[in-house]
Structure 1
Amino acid sequence: MGKDQACANMPPSPPSKHQLDELIREINQWAITNGLTMYPPKFEANPSSASVSPVTVYPTPIPKKCYDEAVDIQPVFNELYARITQDMAHSDSFLHKETEAMALSDPEFTGRLWSLYLETSKIAANRKQALKLGIFRSDYLIDKKNDNDQIKQVEFNTVSVSFAGLSGKIDRLHTFLNKANKYDIKGPYYNESNMIVSESGFLLSKALAKAVESYKLQQKISASNDPIVAFIVQRNERNVFDQKILELNLLDKFNVKSIRLTFDDVHEKLFIDNETGKLYVKDSKQEIAVVYYRTGYTTTDYTSEKDWEARLFLEKSFAIKAPDLLTQLSGSKKIQQLLTDGNVLDKYTSTSEQKDSLLKTFVKIYPLDDTALGKEGKRLALTDPLKYVLKPQREGGGNNVYKENIPGFLKSIEERHWDAYILMELIEPELNKDNVILRDNKPYNEAIISELGIYGCILFDDKEVLVNEFSGSLLRSKFNTSNEGGVAAGFGCLDSIILY
């Protein structure tokens, strides 16, 4: 076996303690120098207390054919979810009615978002912003069933997709370690042409800038009065530096300014012009072209009625939303389940080739309602749960119920609430026993599994698509013993891709 072929499939031989200590030192120094960082829990009293993000020591091998398939299909997914969003706006549509039913089964979150949408639907047509910006991420595991590598979709994220900024950082860290002979003193260990360096931090900024440009053209705004982007963020946000990369790129690459606001700040710092519906910053009178949500994706982001009022206030404005309420709702687990039905998918795809390529990425997903498929889902959940995961309409990690825990969980809640969940077939990815996770400066050498994320951006209205692009990649890994995978939630780490 030649060196390049060997290197594509495995990291260097297990390092000695001295070699690993040297790698850890290099990783920490590179990460701090280049901003591969996040805040630790409870950092509020000391905003200078950033720490190195959890990372792997080595890149992780991913089959090239799987990576290429995920990249190629992303624009198809982008357009699919744009069409779903458009269809949900029609009160007589199938998905409108399905979302109404979903709102009833999950009143504390999906129901609240749906009620906000119904409130915004009362706004006069000339006060409504037609443009919508989808900043998406489709997450996959590579299924090893039948010895055939195949990407299988874990979920499709339509709101607050994270780590686009830090993804390129971890890729560059591993590229540096390889090029600087830190893995192998004899020379680069990996073939650099097989190492993926994501440009997602630039490409998401590019999409936001394109939305600002489209807003300016729509409103005939001169260059001397450039509108800005409002990042709506969580209180005490730990993942600030990932977001800051997008902010800095917006300014440095596209000359677009931005402002960071929590839901609290929305009430204090913004106002809407009564005649036009346009959104402004009170003190500076700066016009806001795009509202970009990095919060608002789960119940804990809404700590009081004031937070829901802030979301409604923003949604009623004329700014382009990334995403608006319907686009966010299109990413619900219920919609994901419905799309596994080829007859449903027929309504939202242009060709049989598109439909078939999408279906190939799906695993079996069951509702837990009173349909025939839902009754089968209930039976499997109670009698054969080891092959499945139970998922609610939530994002952010820590919400799913796995395998043997499913029957007891379902029996602990009233059956009328079961249809707020979907039952999803578990994917069987390959274990990687050769990598090392570095978290809080401690190395962990346990078997890991890796999740491939593909970013995509689409700017659209009811009549046309202005932008539809693949926008970079992300790899996150976690211990095989951990069911959840969120990095910020404490379950996983950032990783990079070496193709083979």
Structure 2
Amino acid sequence: MASDFQSDYRSQNDITNCSMVTAAFPQLEKSQEESLVDNLLQWSLANGLVIYPPNFKSYQPVSAPTTLYPTPFPKVAFQDAKDVQLLFNELYAKVASDEKFLFGIIDELAQFDSDFTGKLWETYIKAKNQGIVQPLSLGIFRSDYMVNEIEGKKPQIKQIEFNTVSVSFGGLSEKVGELHNYLNNHGDYSLDEDSSKFYKTEDLPISDSIKKLSDGLADGDYYYNNQKKSTGTIVLVVVQDRERNVFDQRLLEFALLSNHGIKSIRLTLSEIESKTFIEPNSKKLFIKSTNDEVSVVYFRSGYAPTDFNSQKDWDNRLILETSKAIKAPTLLTQLAGAKKIQQILTDEEIISKFITKNPETENNFSQLLDTFVAIYPLDNSPKGLDAKKLALETPDNFVLKPQREGGGNNIYKQDIPNFLKSIPEKDWAGYILMELIHPQHYQNKILRDGEIYNEPIISELGRFGTIVFNQESGEILSNNDAGWLLRSKFESSNEGGVAAGFGCVDSVVLN
């Protein structure tokens, strides 16, 4: 998923049901805030915390939307997200390696989303028939959480979704952490004349996701080359045309070159046929203009139907899938991230078929189970029939989700009954019904396009992970945590896409 921030939320009417936390932010005078904003914008432009605006020229980046201050996040919940990431990586790698399990789910699911999920599945079947020559897969994952605030209980992370394709903001997440640390160290948050720090340095961790995600790409190159350091092979980054979030991506590419000596090249899906070729016997993928061999195909597009403008784009996706290059992700790995799979994987009995609970993993296994909220199918199973009743009679407790990524697709609360009644009941099975999460909200400030917005925000923590695995055998070759991301948005907003104008990148102050 690219810059999506699909979050579950409490409406403005729910504010009276919980306390507002405000003490975590400095209360600056107007002149102090103006100085802070100047320093923030100049640091961002000087250090790559930038995006392109709509209708941009290539020389016109702007500061990415950010909060003025880091947002409080419970230490215990932050640690919980880290503790379970490797197990989540393994779980989804094992699911992506079980074609039989996926076949029974995706084959049925494809009929409800024929122009995207159906096309992904159709392309995989074609690839299988032609012959898939590369058994290895590279997962670059992100598990997204909100903290569920229940009075009298410790803060708990609750999983919103697990993303297996085109996860974004690994670059900018590190930069915004550096930004807030700079502003704190510089004294911009201080209320004292001596410009002392407002926050303790140890409470403002900085994600190392640029290094770790680029290390994950290097792992793919390493295993492609039979466990040898780069032999001159390159990474192909498949991107959207006129990508606005390009700098977030390029930060990983720059680190890949500087830390590992591995070059990258960027092509859109529509350029694959004309600018690459496959050696017939070895099925190795090469770039025509340079004759460079591609070790890893890293998808930063292809996660939504809008990324496929014609059948040619689907044919090009097939070309890549049947090449020898390691894909990040393969089609099966991408399909393993479907919402329906997420719903099924809330069942402990099913999870136990993929990952073994033993003395070493028992605590993390329990932590993983604790991240789930109730997720229901909307089919004709007993559980599905119960869910249909809940959706129509108590919709305020739920969000309705299709299989799509990319934002703008979820249906919330009172909108659910009318939506369901507007489509044939047989199509309801293409959706899942998910219990709403109840996050705390804070009176931070968002800076976008030079304008300050001051209203309650809620935040979503994403934890990155990288894993190389053999899809034929299920063997795990490498498995690593890869840092984190905090995104925040207006509490009153359903959606939260950063580039789309709903949210912003943020960093944590641990409490």
Q: TM-score, normalised by structure 2?
A: 0.92
Query: Shift of residue 464 of structure 1?
Result: 2.1
Alignment of 1:144-293 (within 5 A): 144-148=149-153, 149-184=155-190, 185=192, 186=194, 187-217=196-226, 225-293=231-299
Alignment of 1:243-392 (within 5 A): 243-351=249-357, 353=362, 354-392=364-402
Q: Give the one of 132, 143, 151 matched to 2:148.
A: 143
Equivalents in 2 of 1:55, 1:459: separation in Å?
33
Which residue of structure 2 aligns with residue 3 of structure 1?
A: none
Q: Which runs of 5+ in 1 are unaligned?
A: 1-7
Which residue of structure 2 aligns with residue 115 of structure 1?
A: 122
| Offset from partner CA, 1:124-158 (integer Å, 9 cap, x none) | 4xx61011000000000000124321000000000
Which residue of structure 1 aligns with residue 448 of structure 2?
A: 439
Query: Shift of residue 99 of structure 1?
Result: 1.5
Which residue of structure 2 aligns with residue 49 of structure 1?
A: 60
2:137–2:327 CA contact under 8 A, matched in 1: yes
Which residue of structure 2 aligns with residue 29 of structure 1?
A: 42
| Offset from partner CA, 1:339-381 (integer Å, 9 cap, x none) | 1122212211210625422210000001111111111111111
Equivalents in 2 of 1:356, 1:281: separation in Å?
46
Q: Secondary structure of the equivalent of 1:358? A: helix
Query: Shift of residue 463 of structure 1?
Result: 4.7
Which residue of structure 2 aligns with residue 77 of structure 1?
A: 88
Equivalents in 2 of 1:77, 1:351: separation in Å?
13
2:97–2:474 CA contact under 8 A, matched in 1: no
Q: Secondary structure of the equivalent of 1:81? A: helix
Equivalents in 1 of 2:27, 2:418: separation in Å?
42
Which residue of structure 2 aligns with residue 131 of structure 1?
A: 136
Task: Give, as a single letter, the amino acid of the residue that structure 2 aligns with 1:119.
Answer: K
Q: Secondary structure of the equivalent of 2:438? A: coil
1:484–1:491 CA contact under 8 A, matched in 2: yes
2:460–2:488 CA contact under 8 A, matched in 1: yes
Equivalents in 1 of 2:79, 2:391: separation in Å?
34
Q: Which runs of 5+ in 2 are unaligned?
A: 1-20
Query: Shift of residue 305 of structure 1?
Result: 1.1
Equivalents in 2 of 1:349, 1:33: separation in Å?
45
Q: What's the C-alpha RMSD, in Å, of the aligned pairs?
A: 1.5
Query: Shift of residue 296 of structure 1?
Result: 0.5
Q: Secondary structure of the equivalent of 1:29? A: helix
2:80–2:367 CA contact under 8 A, matched in 1: no
Query: Shift of residue 420 of structure 1?
Result: 1.1
Alignment partner of 1:102 is 2:113: no
Equivalents in 2 of 1:23, 1:246: separation in Å?
28
| Offset from partner CA, 1:71-94 (integer Å, 9 cap, x none) | 01100000000110111x23xx3x
2:90–2:479 CA contact under 8 A, matched in 1: yes
Q: Secondary structure of the equivalent of 1:348? A: coil
2:164–2:333 CA contact under 8 A, matched in 1: yes
Query: Shift of residue 9 of structure 1?
Result: 8.1
Task: Give, as a single letter, the amino acid of the residue that structure 2 aligns with 1:292.
Answer: Y
Q: Secondary structure of the equivalent of 2:404? A: coil
2:26–2:189 CA contact under 8 A, matched in 1: no
Q: TM-score, normalised by structure 1?
A: 0.94
% of aligned pairs identical? 49
Equivalents in 2 of 1:322, 1:214: separation in Å?
13
Alignment partner of 1:464 is 2:475: yes
Q: Secondary structure of the equivalent of 1:413? A: coil
Q: Structure 1 residues 463 and 152, CA, compared in 2 at 3 Å: closer, same or farther?
A: closer
2:87–2:365 CA contact under 8 A, matched in 1: no
Structure 1 range deviating more: 341-350 or 31-40? 341-350
1:397–1:489 CA contact under 8 A, matched in 2: no
Q: Structure 1 residues 252 and 9, CA, compared in 2 at 3 Å: closer, same or farther?
A: farther
Query: Shift of residue 109 of structure 1?
Result: 1.0
Equivalents in 2 of 1:182, 1:494: separation in Å?
19
| Offset from partner CA, 1:174-198 (integer Å, 9 cap, x none) | 0000011111143011000111100
Equivalents in 2 of 1:23, 1:306: separation in Å?
49
Equivalents in 2 of 1:111, 1:498: separation in Å?
42
Equivalents in 2 of 1:145, 1:412: separation in Å?
35
Q: Secondary structure of the equivalent of 1:21? A: helix
Query: Shift of residue 16 of structure 1?
Result: 2.0
2:235–2:262 CA contact under 8 A, matched in 1: yes
Q: Secondary structure of the equivalent of 2:167? A: coil
| Offset from partner CA, 1:291-321 (integer Å, 9 cap, x none) | 0000000111111111111111111111000
After the TM superposition, list the runs of 4 or more consecutive aligned residues in structure 1 that deviate by more than 3 angstroms.
8-13
1:345–1:355 CA contact under 8 A, matched in 2: no
Q: Structure 1 residues 308 and 67, CA, compared in 2 at 3 Å: closer, same or farther?
A: same
Query: Shift of residue 172 of structure 1?
Result: 0.3
Query: Shift of residue 402 of structure 1?
Result: 0.6
2:111–2:118 CA contact under 8 A, matched in 1: yes
Task: Give, as a single letter, the amino acid of the residue that structure 2 aligns with 1:237.
Answer: E
1:390–1:400 CA contact under 8 A, matched in 2: yes
Greater relative contact order (Cα 8 A, min sep 6): structure 1 or 2?
Answer: 2
Q: Secondary structure of the equivalent of 1:474? A: strand
Alignment of 1:400-415 (within 5 A): 400-415=410-425
Query: Shift of residue 169 of structure 1?
Result: 0.4
Q: Give the one of 417, 433, 436 matched to 2:427.
A: 417
